[in-house]
Amino acid sequence: MSFAAQYTRYGRHLGMDSGGAPTAQHVRYEPNDRPPLPITIGLGLQYALISVASVVLAPTIMISIAGGSDAYLSWAVCAALLISGITTAIQARRVGRIGAGYILVMGTSTAFLAICISALERGGPGLLASLIIVAALFQFALAAKMSFLRHIFTPTVAGTVLMLIPVDVAPVIIRKLTDVPEGASAAAAPTVAAVTLLVTAGIALRSFGAWRVWAPALGIVAGCVVGGVGFGIYDTSGIAAASWVGLPAFAHPGLDFSFGPTFWALLPAFVLVTLVGAMDTLGDAIAIQQVSWRKPRAIDFRAIQGALNADGVGNLLAGIAGTVPNTTYGNSIAVAELTGIAARSVGFCVGIIFALFALLPKFVATVIAIPGPTVAAYYLILVALLFVLGVKIILQDGLDSRRSLVVGLAFWIGAAFKFGWIFPEYFEGPWSGLLGNGMAVGGLTVVFLNLLAEFGRKRRLRLRTALNEDAFAEVDGVLSRLAADRRWDEPMVRQLRAVGEETLHVLLRDTGNTQRERRLLLIAEGDANRAELEFIAAMEDTNLEDQMAMLTEGAAGTPSEEELPLRLLRHYATSVRHQQYHDTDVVAVRVDASRSSRP
């Protein structure tokens, strides 16, 4: 295969067209752009409107079932809205290492409901608050150590969790589809759902520009009008009873840090659900990056760490306030793709609107009164987009036979537990709520299967050294030893050594820009057909994958000295992945034996 042909092949792998130019997505406003104020406010309202009912519903269910007081319920709902607003704004704005820097709407997590109810019943609000606070600390630890867990919390895990969101919300959609007042016409539910679906999808498919931005809102309005005027299923009694403006009476539940037997008995479940929520946030943080830029970019794992930290802040605040912990809402990714607007200012606006909702009970009641069939039809569009996004993420991460088995098993095991297909009588009791969550079971299955695959790998070779000119000989020695152990032929050995040399050239480019000593960890492994190398070091801010994607094919003249190692690495390697974390960078390079035979 010719040198130019290899450029074309690799360019397509990185999301480039045959001419070498990055392919464009239908994104009107990227994260750094500033849309006009009417669009920002209007879209912020749309995001808030489709999420506020979920935010309010979780604490309402929790306290109602557990038998809490009305004062505590009002306090918990108001606190949930305020915390959702604060953390949504932080996700968009990014404060230091907290926040993703993208539109990620935050809200209460239904995954916590079962164990929160158990904590309320067994120890009261004080015990609940202390359990949430301590479990939140594990989320911060996960974000800080994410580079060490890169083989566990992978894009494959994220994609599988996203694919399972439709499975998890399917019962809710089905229930909402028939949620009409008693005595309503038999045609009310299907007609209202069909109108909402047709208007939203029709505008999104046939329109561009401003009309596409308003597709979700127009679909909801159309469903409400048909439901209210045509069939009388828009119930306004709750709206009339709610006050215009108001704050709940102070009813803070207090904190119980006595750490008694009940606390230690419930803590493992809280930690596990917190980690499951982190997997959900991981998937959402990867997906929002995929739909927010016109030109495809490599996944920024620093943004994922920021998203996890913001999620941890939300859980910490929820514990202090005594309400349900937070998580990211996947519908924000679907809306960003549907409208083509991913500006951070919109996410910040959503946070402000959530905070205002906490002070406007009548407005919240208006949103909650939206007919069930309208909600169901709208969510049907969102979960369809989320499923496809999950598939895209898995395909971009590479879907070989091993990953195909992992994803297929995890998806169907998650679905089977969700719908009670696998011996449900054996999974009843305190863990039934967790085991009935498809995302939780599917995500944990992916993690377990990934760990199982890791144990089956051959012995890895490791090298720890200073990242300087002396590292060339040491790296070459390790790679030569790996080649001898695996008994590779001479073309494969030359290919592997060339990849090691060019990767080091790239890593050493910015050595002169820093006074501190930089260290390198090389992890090398392989089998009969391929070699996989991980170079772990601190690098400059620019992502290596993005730099390689920007190399133009067939450019006039000779490549610059800075470009040459990138071009050679792109030529020799089968794939290159650059994962950027805070203080740590991982460059994963793969070399297939089939490529070593080319001239």
Question: pLDDT grade, residue 2 (50/70/90)?
Answer: very low
- Give the per-residue pLDDT at 27: 82
Sheet strands (E) in 208-350: 326-328
Distance CA 222, CA 195 (A): 7
Which residue blocks in 423-470 are alpha helix, DSSP H? 432-435, 438-455
State the pLDDT at residue 10.
Answer: 34
Least confident span in 44-48, 202-206, 363-367: 363-367
The model carries a pTM of 0.71
Which pLDDT band, with edges at 50, 70 and 90, does 595 fall under? low
In the predicted structure, residue 511 carries a pLDDT above the cut 60: no
Note the pLDDT tens digit of each residue in 531-582. 888 888 866 666 666 666 665 444 444 555 667 777 777 777 888 888 888 8
Q: What is the pLDDT of residue 306?
A: 92
Residue bearing the bigger pLDDT, 135 or 61: 135
Percent above pLDDT 70 for the chain: 82
Tell me, what DSSP letter sits at residue 230? I
The Cα 204–Cα 26 span in angstroms is: 12
pLDDT digits (tens, 9 = 90+) for 313-370: 999 999 998 888 988 887 788 888 888 888 999 999 999 999 888 888 777 777 767 7
**Confidence class for position 309, pLDDT limits 50, 70, 90:** very high
Confidence at residue 554, expressed as pLDDT on a 0 to 100 scale: 44
Contact 519, 593 (CB under 8 A): no
Tokens 């000779």 appear where?
558
| pLDDT above 90: residue 89 | yes
Number of residues that this document lists for the chain: 599
* pLDDT of the residue at 136: 92
Q: Are strands 326-328 and 530-537 parallel, antiparallel or unpaired?
A: unpaired
How far apart CA 410 and CA 98 sit, in angstroms, is 31
Mean pLDDT (the chain) is: 78
Cβ–Cβ under 8 Å, residues 391 and 159: yes
452: number of CA atoms within 13 Å, CB side? 10
Write the CB contacts of 424 (distance below 8 Å, at least 6 apart in sequence).
Answer: none
